[in-house]
Every structure is written in C-alpha cells, then in structure tokens.
Amino acid sequence: MKKNIWYLLLLVLYSFSNQLFGWGQTGHRITGAIAEKYLTSKARRNIQKLIGKESLAMVSTWMDEIRSEPAYNHTHDWHWVTIPDGMTYEQSEKNPNGDIIEAIQRLSNVLKNKSETDSARRDALKMLVHLVGDIHQPLHVGRGDDRGGNDVKVRWFGQNSNLHRVWDSDMIEAYKLSYTEYADYILRKYSKQANSWKSTNPLQWAYESMQPREQIYDFDPKKSLGFEYHYKMRDLYEMRLMQAGVRIAALLNEIFS
C-alpha cells in the first residue's frame, strides 16, 4: 500500500515538474535519437564506455529525473538563462547559481578531462545531452518577466496550461507519436540542412532561441490556443528539435575527437 502511495506521489510530482523543465520526455528523447544519427564512430565508442547499453535518447531525460535528489539541488538553475529583450548575455544579470550557457561550457570541460572519475564524466555526459536540448527550447532563454512563459496561463484546446508547457510538451504530444516515429519524421524533413547546423557555440544557440520571441508571444490570451497556433509554430519547434540533436552530436564529436 505504501509503495503504491509513493508511486502515485512521484507521478504527480513528475507531471508538475514537466511544466518547469526541458522539452518533456518525448522532446528530449527526439533530440537524443537524432544525435545518435550524427555521432562519429570514435565518439560512439567513448560514449558507450561511459553509459554502456543506454542510448542518448534514454539518458536525455536523466537530469529531470534526478531533480528531487538533494545531491543535485545545485543543478536546478542550470536548465535556463535570462536574457531580456535588447540585451546581450554579457549585459544581463547573472544567476549566482549558474545558468545553462555556463553549465554547458563547464560540463564540456569535465567530459574532456580524462583525469575526472568515470562517474563525474558520466554525469556530465547525461547533463550535456539534456541541456543542449533545453537551450534550443526558445522559452528556456527567458525574457525575465514571466519565468520563461510559466507565468503565462493559457488554455490549450480548452484545457488549462501555460505557455512554457505548450512548448515543452503540449504541441509535441499532440500528434501521439512515439519519440522514434517523430525523430524519423524530423530527420527526413531537415536532413539536407543538418551540415549547416553543426555549431558548438551555446551562446549562439541562446541568441537563436531569443529570435522568435515576438512570434511565440503573438496570440490572444483570451482565446484558447489550438490548431492555428500549433500550425504557426510547428516548423519552428521541429527545426529546434533537429538543431538540438545535430548539435548534441557535434559537441560530443568535438569532445571525443
């Protein structure tokens, strides 16, 4: 009985926290599955040494899964960064707990450092896969006034939601596809552009996420979001998922070169 109660509690907490972190399970796994298509043989071998038979798709959600463990409390603010409109990253106020740009750079250095323990490098790898995904979700580069859209309450097909959650999961889950089905579709859609997206600069990724802000916030808050908003945003979020996957691979290929 107690086990069932704890299990239900964990499900509730996980459902709530999905409004605060990441693309959601499906989105993150899409980026991991795409990344695996662009790994070099050398990078793939080194990754397997660290995570064994686990795939990048499956480890991509690990950073959200361990958020309730006190040992990882210091990582909570690493999922996002605030860069107000009209400001650069350098001009914006820095979070003393760190941010997603700083975390990606530091974790990359941990992974490159062979004197680090396997455990530390394994954690760094899993976090990198997750955070490269997060920084490509436009609302993880926040304006500073609404917690990356979490405070923007909306109706999604008549159901209560918020703008951040719409981007994290509501639009992606609308098609009822598995992450492998959706990843295959996105790969076919954008494969010809992949080579032009192999940047390994997290600051560039953050500025890209800022660019469509006006478009993302362009809706009538009095009306329920649905087919029209989804149709307008679909190419944008699918492109960002593809770019995230390509860049996870590019960063890991560079680290393990």
Mean pLDDT of the region 215-240: 97
C-beta neighbour count of 8 within 10 angstroms: 10
Q: 23 pLDDT band (50/70/90 cuts)?
A: confident
Mean pLDDT of the region 129-148: 98
Of 63, 148, 62, the closest CA to residue 103 belongs to 63
CATH number of the domain that residue 195 is part of: 1.10.575.10
Task: Give the CA-trace dihedral at 69, 70, 76, 79, to 10 degrees.
Answer: -30
Q: 55 pLDDT band (50/70/90 cuts)?
A: very high
pLDDT recorded at residue 22: 67
- Domain tally for the chain? 1
Q: pTM value?
A: 0.91
Q: 79 pLDDT band (50/70/90 cuts)?
A: very high
* Domain limits for position 194: 2-255
Q: Decide if pLDDT at 9 tops 80.
A: no
